[in-house]
Amino acid sequence: MIPAIVYIPDGRPRPGELREVALDVLELRPAEVVLPEATVRDERGGRLFDGSTLMFDPAAGGGPLADAAADRQARAFGVTNTAFHVQRALRFASALLGHPLPHLLVRIGMHDQPRRWHGGHYRLPRPSLTDEPATLSFAGEIHLGGGDGFVPAPDGSPYFHAPAHNVAIVCHEVGHHLCRHTADFRLNRLRPPAQQTNRKVALDEGTADVFTAILLGTPDIYGWHRGAIAEWDQRRRKLQPRWTMAHFWGGRDRDPHADGTVWASACWSARERVIATGADAARFDTALLRGMESAGADTGAGAVAETGAGAGAGTGAGAVAGTGAGAGADAVAGTEAEAEGGAGAGADAGAARLTKDALNQRRQFSRLLSAITRADPELAPVVLTAMAEHGIRPGASNTALKDAARADLTGEVGR
């Protein structure tokens, strides 16, 4: 255990409170912290750590306007803060699942050319990603930018927006790692390890957001850096009762983060409702994570076994997720075409068509909802009631739920 200073979220729209914590570290390298469950590295080089402590000052995020010493402090703090929250998030998930997730690599200071970046993303190896490093971990990695722009510090002064200082961004990306290795919305485990897909569906984004809300203890997860956006604006991505399937759009051109807010808000409402019955919040969290895991394990049809055999061959022609076929599956799955469209696929049916259907099923909110209720049947009535208020119920496609929610709205207006 190494003493460290990190931000602890306090539910308010700011970075959190600075606190001393103990971090379980296997090895401390010059710009890298190796944890039992993750490796967190600053990719910009130089020596950030030279002792046995991780007690650094956030230095208002450092950045190009700070002097070299302050920027080094801020980078060292960023690695430390990220390491702590990645460890906390992964340990929270593994405690509920009953097993660890695969080792996660986190790389800070990525994609800062040609323009600085204040965002983060989760990446799996895929050959067509020319703007990514040549080798990516098969298990998945998180990339955080070196920072860009300024957000307000608690005292109102400017704070350089380094994503490693932003606990919400870190937790959201860990949420994608959780999704990849449980619900696996894009069936990446059936694809060759070097040819996975990084396209995220709304369920992936929404689940990552509600996971973040659970870890932060607030529905206003991005309140710090999106504080200038009104709470009623969907871009704030605050989880709240107003977001229903009537606000869902679907389709490849739609930002899955915005559509995901509907799912995240419904999950948050269900969790609040569970707490209101006197149950522990962990009851809902466990049902959510175990539901994700069972939804991921449920392969549905023989189609998946067939695909799996092909994928195992790597470059074999039978690998559905291989070269062209993989891209095709992406394009098809990206549309809001529902499963019935697959019936006319005709002669080239086979594995590709079945995979399309399997991917299509995995995008449906109702499928994950059913898995959550099966994970804890006693909670089901409470969860279903809360979800229904967001227009989400079992056994209907996202499109059907959207249409029904909008018809309800029209009815309200016409009354």
> Which residues sit at the interface with Zn ion, rule CB under 5 A?
205
Residue closer to Zn ion by CB (options 184, 205) is 205
Query: Within 10 Å of residue 304's Cβ, how many Cβ atoms?
Result: 19
Distance in Å, CB of 373 to Zn ion, minimum: 25
Distance in Å, CB of 383 to Zn ion, minimum: 24
Residue closer to Zn ion by CB (options 205, 259) is 205
Residue closer to Zn ion by CB (options 119, 318) is 119
Residue closer to Zn ion by CB (options 41, 237) is 237
Distance in Å, CB of 363 to Zn ion, minimum: 15
Distance in Å, CB of 123 to Zn ion, minimum: 11
Residue closer to Zn ion by CB (options 85, 273) is 85
271 CB contacts (<8 Å, ≥6 apart)? 210, 214, 281, 284, 285, 288
Residue closer to Zn ion by CB (options 205, 376) is 205
Distance in Å, CB of 51 to Zn ion, minimum: 35
Residue closer to Zn ion by CB (options 161, 273) is 161
Work out the angle at residue 332's Cα, subtended by the Cα atoms of residues 183 and 122, and round it to the nearest 5 degrees: 45
Distance in Å, CB of 291 to Zn ion, minimum: 20
Distance in Å, CB of 149 to Zn ion, minimum: 19
Distance in Å, CB of 2 to Zn ion, minimum: 30
Contact in structure between 413 and 407 (CB atoms under 8 Å): no
Work out the angle at residue 409's Cα, subtended by the Cα atoms of residues 406 and 414, and round it to the nearest 5 degrees: 130
Bridge-based pairing state of the strands 150-152 and 158-160: antiparallel
The letter for the amino acid at 122 is: Y
Contact in structure between 120 and 162 (CB atoms under 8 Å): no
Q: Alpha-carbon distance 350 to 107, whole Å?
A: 39
Residue closer to Zn ion by CB (options 31, 210) is 210
